[in-house]
Amino acid sequence: MDPIQPPPPAWQMKVFRFFMMLGWVLILIAFLVGVFVLAPTASSYLGDNAKAARDAAEAGSALLGQLGALSTIPRWLEPLIFLGVASFMIGIALEFSSIPALLKNRGQVTKACFPLIVKVSK
């Protein structure tokens, strides 16, 4: 009878943690930027100033700077969130792709042990 060897560790099992953590980190960064940058900027832009003051803002004023931040930051946050979700999904796919190799090894172990199990139970 051939000795049963444990399966070699799949490369996917080594790499999937990196992709999953990268996804969480990117999503967390986007969330923190939204909470600590966008929310206070939106609050001060929309809450402290009347619409007439916002519409009458002159070039170079702080109001237009806040409006610029409110319109540009989401443009790079959305791709960052998308990249985070994609990275997380790649990590899950890599983890799932290691299952067939593990099942193949379980089949070999069962095939090798089955005659011994039947012999002991008789």
Q: Is residue 98 part of a domain?
A: yes
Q: Is residue 15 part of a domain?
A: yes
Structure confidence by residue, pLDDT tens digits, 29-57: 999 998 898 887 777 777 777 767 666 67
Choose between 26 and 45: higher pLDDT.
Answer: 26
Q: Which amino acid is at 101?
A: A
Q: Which domain holds residue 104?
A: 11-121
Helices 62-97 & 11-33, crossing angle to 10 degrees? 160
| Number of domains making up the chain | 1
- Mean pLDDT in residue range 10-36: 92
Which helix (DSSP H) or strand (DSSP E) does residue 87 occupy? Answer: helix 62-97
1 pLDDT above the threshold of 70: no
Q: Is residue 57 part of a domain?
A: yes
Q: Is residue 4 part of a domain?
A: no
Q: Is residue 1 part of a domain?
A: no
Structure confidence by residue, pLDDT tens digits, 59-105: 767 666 677 777 788 889 999 999 999 999 999 999 999 888 778 87
